[in-house]
Amino acid sequence: MDNLTLHKIRKDYGKVRAVEGVDLTFAHGELTALLGPSGCGKTTLLRMVAGLEDPSAGKITLGARDLTHMAAHKRKFGMVFQSFALFPHLNVRENVCYALTIAGMAKAQAHEKAAKLLDLVQLSSFADRSIGALSGGQRQRVAIARALAQEPEVFLLDEPMSALDANLREAMQVELRMLQQRLGITTIVVTHDQREAMTMADNIVVMSNGAVEQSGPPQDIYHKPRNAFVADFIGRANFFDGVVAGGKIISGGLSLEAGGVQYVDGSAVTVAIRPEQPMLAERIPAQNEVPAEVTFVRDVGATRDIHLSTALGPLIVEYALGEHARTFRVGDKITAQLPAGALYVFPAEQRRKSA
């Protein structure tokens, strides 16, 4: 079982560099999400893997095979496009059979295989329907079945959920993940939705400005962001600026402990903390106490967002609602505790660059 590897991949469009120096390995059978804001190069990278774009430099290999300049029709990686790209002149079955027909498979055999695939995506009864008569979710399933028909070694999906409404998107994320796990196929999904990436992927590759910012399992990306961009892009984060002095962070006249600060004294830093990390309960060991005033309270289902004004700047704290939950009112004077281990410290210029 071969891993797909990208070695120092670069892509230039004239003077514009879309992708720069990407080194990645996609382990066999794993689902990897390429995540990043619009224009970060994730779709370009996927298209290079598919063979729809030629890299300006670098190498793409699948096991020992060099695919770098192999034409898309010779790679035969199954791909689901953002628009699904179903053929309007063919019905559902014919769409699914397309790759098989191209490969020269007998009609009866192709139909048999298409029936199995349509069963897999729960569309057996829609085989004779025209594409125009399908809903968005059904079209997506047809696109998936069609891409899987040729039994690709690598399965590529370019923002497959973007055309679906919120409810359907959630359901399809689960279905797609289950299907991928059942088939054990190496899968790469491009998305700009971090929630989608977190819920579906074994690994996430966060990209920005054509480069990989961080890659790893979703929990690592969330809890150990390598830089301010990742901390900002994955989940929510509060940011404040400070200066390192004696292993502590000085900000807003407060001296804060931050686990393992590796900066020389006088370094300007940006500190990030997830909204669920600060503690507002009263009976806790005092650490990094920050006096605050409640400026706004917003219920968001199981949690409540408490907006605070502090000497560090504005903070949002995600407060879990429960039986003994405190009630906060605008104007309340409280103290927020910022656990030292929950503070992520980055060089200040990094945040400015990613902003």
Partner 1 sequence: MSSIEADILRDTPDATVPKRGRVRPAQLVLWALVLALCVVPFLLVVVISFGEKVEGAAWVFGFTGENYLRFFVGASWPETSTTLYLNRLYYSVYYAVIASLVAVLTAFPFTYFMTRMSRAAQSRWLVFLLATLSLSEVFIVMGWDILLSNRSGLPMVLREIGVTDWLKGNGGFDLLREWGMANPRDIKFKTSEFATVLTMSYLVWPYAVILLYPALSRLDQSTVEAARTMGAGPWRVVQTVVLPTVRLPLIGTLFLLFVFLLGTYVSVTVFAEPAKQTLAISVYESVRGSTLNAPFGAAQSVILLVTGGLCLWLGQVLVNKQEARA
Can you tell me the distance from the alpha carbon of 214 to that of 205, in angstroms, rounded to the nearest whole number?
6
* Rounded least distance, CB 84 to partner 1, Å: 8
Examine residue 150 and tell whether it contacts partner 1 (CB under 8 A).
yes
* Rounded least distance, CB 269 to partner 1, Å: 45
CB atoms within 10 A of CB 54: 11
Q: Give the three-class secondary structure for 249.
A: strand
| Closer Cβ to partner 1, 36 or 152, answer by number | 152
Q: Specify the stretch interacting with partner 1 by CB under 8 A; choose among 147-155, 254-262, 313-321, 346-354.
A: 147-155
Examine residue 55 and tell whether it contacts partner 1 (CB under 8 A).
no
Examine residue 125 and tell whether it contacts partner 1 (CB under 8 A).
no
Examine residue 146 and tell whether it contacts partner 1 (CB under 8 A).
yes
Bridge-based pairing state of the strands 154-158 and 78-80: parallel
Considering only CA atoms, which of 187, 201, 186 is closest in space to residue 234?
201
Q: Specify the stretch interacting with partner 1 by CB under 8 A; choose among 34-42, 44-52, 132-140, 292-300.
A: 44-52
Q: In this structure, what are the phi and psi dihedrals at residue 8, rounded to the nearest 5 degrees?
A: 45, 50
* Rounded least distance, CB 119 to partner 1, Å: 20
30, containing H or E segment: none
Examine residue 82 and tell whether it contacts partner 1 (CB under 8 A).
yes
| Closer Cβ to partner 1, 188 or 336, answer by number | 188
In the list 8, 63, 66, 83, the residue contacting partner 1 (rule: CB under 8 A) is 83
Can you tell me the distance from the alpha carbon of 278 to that of 337, in angstroms, rounded to the nearest whole number?
5
Examine residue 283 and tell whether it contacts partner 1 (CB under 8 A).
no
* CA-angle at 353, arms to 271 and 16, nearest 5°: 155
Is-contact 305 186, C-beta < 8 A? no
Examine residue 50 and tell whether it contacts partner 1 (CB under 8 A).
yes
In the list 27, 52, 268, 348, the residue contacting partner 1 (rule: CB under 8 A) is 52
Examine residue 86 and tell whether it contacts partner 1 (CB under 8 A).
yes
3-state DSSP of 33-100: EEECCCCCCHHHHHHHHHCCCCCCEEEEEECCEECCCCCHHHHCCEEECCCCCCCCCCEHHHHHHHHH
Q: Give the three-class secondary structure for 161.
A: coil
Examine residue 147 and tell whether it contacts partner 1 (CB under 8 A).
yes
Task: Report 58-77 residues binding partner 1 (CB under 8 A).
Answer: 71-77
Chain positions contacting partner 1, by CB under 8 A: 50-52, 71-79, 81-83, 85-90, 98-99, 102-103, 146-147, 149-150, 156
